[in-house]
Amino acid sequence: MANELKIRCIMSKDSLPVTGAEQAVYALVDIKAGGGKVFGSMPANFGLVLDRSGSMDGEKMNNLKEAVGYVVDHLNDGDLVSVTIFDDQVETLIPSQSAKNREAIRAALAKVSPRGGTQISDGLKAGLAEVKKGYSPERVNRVLLLTDGQTWDDEDACLRLAEEAGKQGVAITSIGIGEEWNEKLLLQIAEKSLGNSHWIQNPIAILDAFRQEVEGMQSVAASNLKVTARMGQGVKPIRVFSTIPMISDVSKKAVTGLNVVADLGTLDGKKGQAILIEAAAPAQKAGKFRLGQVEITYDVPSQGLKGQSIKTDMFVTF
């Protein structure tokens, strides 16, 4: 099948002045499903890792239970789901199983009550273990982590778990509620695992965040997405930012010598992905100059396609 994905390189400027000096240039690499379509829904392998500490009492817990109910109602019978709850202890409330067991999942969740402190790494470790039981490259493998508080001196452990999850193809969406959670930590967890991060001020918005996550999983058009930008002669990459689905600086991992290489995870067929490359172009005489070539490699498991690629060139005129 041709044209599963489309790629555009949008330059910050179509032309640069001839100055005899090096100049900064920016390229937005925009990746979308061809024709904006999704090529068959991939089954999900979804792990919920939920904070049940004492501060989750009241409206937060009530809205959380409603949101989890939405998840199990809208997942397909062929999807896998697990629920791990944590405070300063961990409980695997729902081991990885078919999402068709909806009533049993609802009944187990109804019994949960807030208690204790917050130890994110233990909950994340247990939740990831459940997702790994059902891991398959043919599935959308994802963990949703929700918390409203600060964790207890285990930030490094959380980041190690996130990085390992990303390498194994399990993205973590981190959601912080209210004002007391560790924004930097949750953002880094998402970045290291190729996931996403959200902030919710009002507990009533928990349902909408979970809805977006389910819809995003059911809209995945491609997986194992990777961008490689091979720079032209004399062009030096400086920085790289992910801009869709969230804004983050990925320069440390993506800038490799004179090239840019970035793993992007899965592609939402509705939203797409985009990265911004900042580079230094060498002094040039008047004329068209090739900054480099961008290649996207990807799989479309729903179509049995692996190792597909598309390429496009980046040009500016001096």
Domain CATH code at residue 106: 3.40.50.410
Q: Are residues 209 and 227 in the same domain?
A: no
Structurally, how many domains does the chain consist of? 2
Q: What is the pLDDT of residues 63-77, one digit of tens each?
A: 999 999 999 999 999
Q: Tell me what percent of the residues of the chain surpass a pLDDT of 90.
A: 87
Give, for 109, the enclosing helix (H) or strand (E).
helix 102-110
What is the pLDDT confidence band of residue 39, given thresholds at 50, 70 and 90? Answer: low
| Whole-number pLDDT of residue 229 | 98
Roughly how many angstroms between the first and final C-alpha of the chain, as a whole number? 38
Averaged pLDDT for residues 200-209: 92
Domain CATH code at residue 15: 2.60.40.3670
Task: State the amino acid at position 147 in one-letter form.
Answer: T
Residue 2 has pLDDT above 80, yes or no: no
What are the backbone angles phi and psi of residue 193, rounded to the nearest 5°?
-100, 5
What is the pLDDT confidence band of residue 41, given thresholds at 50, 70 and 90? Answer: confident
pTM of the shown model: 0.90
Picking from 116, 103, 129, 107, the residue whose alpha carbon sits closest to that of residue 51 is 116
Residue 35 has pLDDT above 70, yes or no: no
Contact residues for 257 (Cβ-Cβ < 8 A; gap 6+): none
| Whole-number pLDDT of residue 208 | 95
Q: Are residues 157 and 23 in the same domain?
A: no
Q: Are residues 23 and 63 in the same domain?
A: no
Task: Calculate the average pLDDT of the chain.
Answer: 93
Residue pair 159/188 in contact by the 8 Å Cβ criterion: yes
| Whole-number pLDDT of residue 174 | 97
Residue 1 has pLDDT above 50, yes or no: no
Q: Are residues 57 and 142 in the same domain?
A: yes
**Residue 245 preceded by cis peptide, ω within 30:** yes
Q: Are residues 213 and 225 in the same domain?
A: no
The residue segments making up the domain with residue 267 are 5-39+220-317
CB atoms within 10 A of CB 19: 10
143 burial (CB, 10 Å; 0-12 / 13-18 / 19+) is buried
What is the pLDDT confidence band of residue 181, given thresholds at 50, 70 and 90? Answer: confident
206 or 34, higher pLDDT: 206
Q: Are residues 166 and 184 in the same domain?
A: yes
